[in-house]
Amino acid sequence: MRKRIINAFLDVLVLDELRTGTGEISGYNFLFILKRKFGVMLASATMYSRLYYLERQNLIKGLQVPGKRQKRVYDLTDEGKEWMRGLTSNPDSMVQQLLKLLAVPR
């Protein structure tokens, strides 16, 4: 059940990680962040197709890493920042509640 919820809200989880994280993140690293935070490992095809979708929606931008043949890192666009600001501005928002609900107990 947890995996289905993560998959359904993957867009928001990716955007939130970029918003609150330390900067650009690769698709491979996203997979491990989700595993660490939520205890769910998604297929790489699922992650990369979602990143591609978010990029087409202009919510994130992907940049090729110089010297790394196929490594691409992602960051929020201004439009993505604004979209997330609207979703997370209220501490009682659905997104904030979802993140709390899905968090893996430590």
> pLDDT tens, 48-96?
999 999 999 999 999 988 887 778 999 999 999 998 888 777 767 777 7
Residue 104 binned pLDDT confidence (cut-offs 50, 70, 90): low
The ranges assigned to domains in the chain are 2-82
Contact 6, 41 (CB under 8 A): no
Separation of alpha carbons 61 and 80, rounded Å: 9
| CATH number belonging to domain 2-82 | 1.10.10.10
Separation of alpha carbons 77 and 63, rounded Å: 12
pLDDT value of position 106: 46
Helix (H) or strand (E) holding 75: strand 72-76
Q: Check the CA dihedral 67-69-71-73 and report its sign.
A: positive
